[in-house]
Amino acid sequence: MPLQKIFAAAVLLCASIAFHAQTPAAITTDPAPDKANPAAMQSFQLPSHGALLNAIVYVAAGPGPHPIVILLHGFPGNEKNLDLAQTIRRAGWDVLFFNYRGSWGSPGTFSFTHSIEDTQSAIAYLRDPANAAKLRSDPKYIVLIGHSMGGMIAANVAAGDPEIRGVGLISGANMAGRLLPAVQANKQEEALPRVTKGLAAEGLAPLAGCTPESLARELLANAAKWNLPDLAPKLSARPILVVTSDDGLADASDALVANLKKIGDTEVNAVHIPTDHGYSDHRIALQQTVLEGLDYLQSHR
């Protein structure tokens, strides 16, 4: 074999060894089977305000009790991030994923307010001792991780629930807070067509019972209440992971991180990954970042 080819093969081998040495086992390796308490997927209907939402729990192997992540999808939710769910389960966590009312076949009317309420319902479900026993999960150790709109939902729900143990925002979309300047200038009606057009462009086919205008009006009405940077005082007592990308949404997340640090929060971790909103070519990097955040939480249990 020519010397150049031998050298190239050696470089590739070294790179492969280095990758596996640095990559968490939960990304590269399935856990040992546990016949008594196997890994499983439980599908069920999550009760929320009279509706039964489509939901699944990825149950980790082992007797537990396992800490649990509620994984919140965005608007309208084309990227489900279920590769994250599988990886988090391999790391020993249960993961609950559900579709908000009126989204992706869950009955009811979609709205941002309903999405917040549905997340609260998911938390209540996990805190029920009977459900916790069935899932081998720890009802006192719930973490919220949200992508895009799900980040806005996660931050707002956690801000009102001090028992949530940690929060992860993945390209958190400050959908309401970005409209605050228009609201403060009393220019809601002027902003309405632009906001409506932007929401319509996202594609509302998976969402029921709403219109772009109804959702735009809801965002304008809650611009101050749901503004991400202003939630810092209510989030600062817990570990916060903030992941941003090159999607143009980082400003609000950066402002949240800055506000957390201003009030002395030492448990906020900000990571920027240079990719698109869906982390399309950095899925393993995203998994590793999330696992490192969860490892930090477990080390401080």
Q: Are strands 94-98 and 166-170 parallel, antiparallel or unpaired?
A: unpaired
pLDDT (0 to 100) of residue 298: 80
pLDDT tens sequence across 46-69:
999 999 999 999 999 999 999 999
pLDDT (0 to 100) of residue 205: 96
Q: What percent of the chain has pLDDT over 70?
A: 93
pLDDT (0 to 100) of residue 301: 64
Sheet holding 240-244, edge to edge: 40-48, 51-59, 94-98, 66-72, 137-147, 166-170, 240-244, 268-272
pLDDT tens sequence across 148-161:
999 999 999 999 99
How would residue 13 be classed by pLDDT, with cut points 50, 70 and 90? Answer: very low
Domains in the chain with CATH codes: 38-299 (3.40.50.1820)
pLDDT (0 to 100) of residue 59: 98
* Of 11 and 224, more confident: 224
Cβ proximity of 166 and 173 under 8 Å: no
Cβ proximity of 155 and 167 under 8 Å: yes
Q: What is the mean pLDDT of residues 167-185?
A: 98
Its pTM stands at 0.92
